[in-house]
């Protein structure tokens, strides 16, 4: 099957308390694109991202990852294809060591331990955390925790990498490392961010949201002129 695009068709989502967070989102991101998701707090960016790998399912409309519709039944397949890095890395690091956190996904995929080890080492080295295998997450700096969270997704070798405000709370050096790392990921990236510089440097395309809707979808430089 092809995972090589992700498509939203008229997606609506209301939270259980009745908040209508997505009001008809239609959107296609094709393989290898890097797209920034922009907009003020509360406009629906995180809600949209949570639909990319089925953490939320639409109240109405459909999300497809390649030719697979995202439903309860397809979640294992979808989550192999779409790797999601949450806004708060502490939500993703829960094992005793960084190694185990990064190994968690591949082990869950029942890969042989040798392959798990190869993936963990590759991912830790990609994010600059070589040598931190045996540390606990709380022994890392904020930037390193973010890197560990990203490694825990990279180790699953996703086709599509989705990140929610990855550069928030990073110092200049950690932010630079993050941007450089994301540039080396040759698959699809969707990143929600307030970091306009990062959007400009990383993403040729930007999507601007307002109040649960997409109000612009264009080149990042065009969008920059509008806001
Ligand atoms: N768990 C939740 N329950 C109820 N409303 C929520 C929940 N999470 C977010 N919302 C609401 O949904 C809307 C979109 O939020 P969100 O997707 O987090 O926006 P953004 O990521 O752009 O800041 C906001 O009105 C927010 O208050
Ligand atoms: Mg958010």
Tell me which residue has tokens 């994010």.
127
Spatial distance between the Cα atoms of 143 and 127, rounded to a whole number of angstroms: 10
Spatial distance between the Cα atoms of 187 and 174, rounded to a whole number of angstroms: 22
Q: Which residues line ligand 1 (CB under 6 A)?
A: 15, 17, 19, 21, 39, 41-47
Tell me which residue has tokens 């990073």.
170
Spatial distance between the Cα atoms of 112 and 15, rounded to a whole number of angstroms: 39
CB atoms within 10 A of CB 164: 20
**Closest ligand 1 atom number to CA of residue 49:** 17
**Closest ligand 1 atom number to CA of residue 87:** 21
Strands 5-14, 20-30: pairing is antiparallel
> 130: Cβ–Cβ under 8 A, 6 or more apart, which residues?
121, 124
Q: Where are the beta strands (DSSP E) in the chain?
A: 5-14, 20-30, 34-38, 60-65, 68-69, 82-85, 160-164, 188-192, 205-210, 213-219
Per-residue pLDDT of the chain (227 residues; tens, 9 = 90+): 455 789 999 999 999 999 999 999 999 999 999 999 999 999 999 999 999 999 999 999 999 999 999 999 999 999 989 999 999 999 999 999 999 999 999 999 999 999 999 999 999 999 989 999 999 999 999 889 999 999 999 999 999 999 999 998 888 888 898 999 999 888 899 999 999 999 999 999 999 999 999 999 999 999 998 87
Spatial distance between the Cα atoms of 178 and 112, rounded to a whole number of angstroms: 29
Q: How close is the Cα of 210 to the center of ligand 1, in Å? A: 12
Tell me which residue has tokens 């509360």.
42
User: Which residue ranges form the domains of the chain, and what is each CATH number?
Assistant: 5-226 (3.40.50.300)
8 A C-beta contact, residue 32 and residue 2: no
8 A C-beta contact, residue 70 and residue 54: yes
**Given CA atoms 110, 150, 100, 50 in this order, what sign does their dihedral have?**
negative
């Amino acid at each position: 099957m092809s995972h090589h695009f992700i498509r939203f068709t008229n997606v609506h989502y209301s939270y259980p308390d009745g908040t209508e967070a997505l009001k008809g989102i239609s959107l296609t991101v094709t393989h290898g694109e890097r797209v920034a998701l922009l907009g003020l707090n509360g406009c629906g960016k995180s809600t949209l991202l949570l639909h990319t790998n089925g953490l939320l399912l639409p109240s109405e409309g459909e999300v497809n990852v390649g030719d697979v519709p995202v439903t309860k039944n397809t979640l294992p397949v979808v989550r192999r294809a779409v790797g999601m890095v949450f806004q708060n890395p502490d939500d993703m690091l829960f094992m005793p060591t960084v190694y185990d956190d990064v190994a968690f996904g591949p082990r869950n995929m029942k890969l042989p331990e040798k392959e798990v080890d190869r993936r963990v080492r590759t991912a830790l080295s990609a994010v600059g955390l070589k040598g931190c295998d045996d540390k606990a997450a709380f022994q890392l700096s904020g930037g390193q925790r973010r890197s560990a969270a990203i490694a825990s997704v990279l180790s699953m070798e996703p086709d599509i990498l989705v990140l929610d405000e990855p550069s928030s709370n990073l110092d200049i050096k950690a932010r630079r490392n993050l941007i450089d790392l994301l540039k080396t990921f040759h698959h699809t990236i969707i990143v929600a961010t307030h970091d306009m510089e990062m959007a400009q440097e990383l993403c040729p395309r930007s999507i601007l949201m307002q109040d649960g809707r997409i109000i612009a979808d264009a080149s990042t430089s065009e969008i920059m002129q509008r806001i």
